[in-house]
Amino acid sequence: MSQFLLVLVSGVASGAVYGLMGLGLVIIYRATDVVNFAMASLATLGLYVAVSLHDRGVATVVGVLAAIAITVAAGMLVRETVIRPLGQGQLFSALVVTMGVSLIAESVAGSIWGDQPKAFPNLVDGTVRWSGAALPVQSLVTIAVAAVAMALVGYLFARTTLGSAMRAAAESADTARVIGLSSQRLARISWALGLGLAALAACLYAPRSGLVPTALVAPLFRAFAGIFLGGLTSMYGAVLGGLTIGVLDNLAANYVSASFRDTFVFSFTVLVLLIRPQGMFGTRTFQRV
């Protein structure tokens, strides 16, 4: 039982990270039709700034806030300089551009901070014992922080005027413009929100993985699996898809094989998509011919 609990908590913590990252991807995609491959690399820049501050004696929480600020600033710079000039609806061009930006960001990080792995501090150290299992407090904090962030995003979109405007613009940018909403302003806010969530997810993930320029490639990969599983346009789907990936990944490693955890998880994803191509919570779109 204690072993199952450990594996489950660890899986939920990993899934929370994938869910947060996936949520950021979906918010940006819905608002601007951009699948942002650069998100993880830009968040890595933020992580390096946080580590540099921590090494100079700055509190970890301040470092995390700085990481979020840097990631958002870098993301906005990328959007204004290389994404926005492409124009609306350039899905594949934007995809390639964000891939390029991702590689550049990784090179910049390697050039400035070097390629040697660096430790990223835990937000909280220690363990708590429950049902015979020593649960890492960091994992519990990861779950709690991610849950609060997701709840706030849910509140923003469901209960505020800004959220309603963002949803309206995501549904139809033209209609939103007609009723006086600035689609560019809303797109900027969406990018900032998405990148902020990615940076937060990165700060929760990095204590376990350590920090190298490519540290966030693996969680980004799983976040993508999560949003396809949950439904590319659904924020609930991104969260639940990420959580499903995290938990299944760990259960497969423990009860099937630690070597085939990816195989198991992605087989499950493929199976779900075969049955329901729009993902668990996605909506199927039809176009009039």
Partner 1 sequence: MFRIMRRFRRAAGATAVLAVIALTANACADEDSAGAGGGDGSEIHIGAWLPLTGSTAAYGGPQKAGADAYFKMLNASGGINGRKVRWTVKDNAGDPQQTVQIARELVGQDDVVAIVNANGTSQAEAAFPFVLDQSKVPVLNEVGGSESWFEPPRPGLFGTQTLYEDQAAAIAAWAVQDGAKKITVVHSDPAAFVNVAEQVEPVAKKLDPSVEVDRVSVKYQTTDYTPVISKVKAADTQAVILILTSPEAAAFVKEAKLQGLDLPTYAYAPVAAESTVSLAKDAAEGLKAVQLVKAPSDSDPAVKEFRTAMAEYEPDETAGFLALWGWSNAKVFAEIAKTIKGPVTSQSITAAYEKASKVDPGVSPVMSFSASNHLGTRSVQRVVVENGVWTSVGDFYTPPARD
Q: Examine residue 254 and tell whether it contacts partner 1 (CB under 8 A).
A: yes
Q: Are 90 and 106 in contact (CB under 8 A)?
A: no
Question: In the window 86-125, what residues touch partner 1 (CB under 8 A)?
Answer: 104, 107-108, 110-111, 114-119
- C-alpha to C-alpha distances, 148 to 108, 134, 200, 214, 239, nearest whole angstrom: 32, 24, 12, 27, 13
Q: Examine residue 6 and tell whether it contacts partner 1 (CB under 8 A).
A: yes
Q: Provide the mask over 9-38, with x wherever binding to partner 1 is found by CB under 8 A and - wherever it is not.
A: -xx--x------------------------
Q: Examine residue 250 and tell whether it contacts partner 1 (CB under 8 A).
A: yes
Number of other residues whose CB lies within 10 A of the CB of residue 69: 14
Q: Examine residue 214 and tell whether it contacts partner 1 (CB under 8 A).
A: yes
CA 257, CA 164: separation in Å to the nearest integer? 45
Comparing CB distances to partner 1, the nearer of 58 and 104 is 104
Q: Are 28 and 190 in contact (CB under 8 A)?
A: yes
Q: Examine residue 127 and tell whether it contacts partner 1 (CB under 8 A).
A: yes
User: Out of 65, 69, 73, 82, which residue is the one contacting partner 1 (CB under 8 A)?
Assistant: 82
CA 258, CA 10: separation in Å to the nearest integer? 14
User: Out of 194, 253, 279, 280, which residue is the one contacting partner 1 (CB under 8 A)?
Assistant: 253
Q: Are 89 and 33 in contact (CB under 8 A)?
A: yes
Distance in Å, CB of 255 to partner 1, minimum = 8
68: tokens are: 């979020």
Angle at 227 between CA 104 and CA 120, to 5 degrees: 50
Question: In the window 34-73, what residues touch partner 1 (CB under 8 A)?
Answer: none
Distance in Å, CB of 254 to partner 1, minimum = 4
Distance in Å, CB of 273 to partner 1, minimum = 22
Burial of 33 (0-12, 13-18, 19+ CB in 10 A): middle
Binding site for partner 1 (CB under 8 A): 3, 6-7, 10-11, 14, 77, 80-82, 85, 104, 107-108, 110-111, 114-119, 127, 134, 136, 205, 208-210, 212, 214, 218, 249-251, 253-254, 257-262
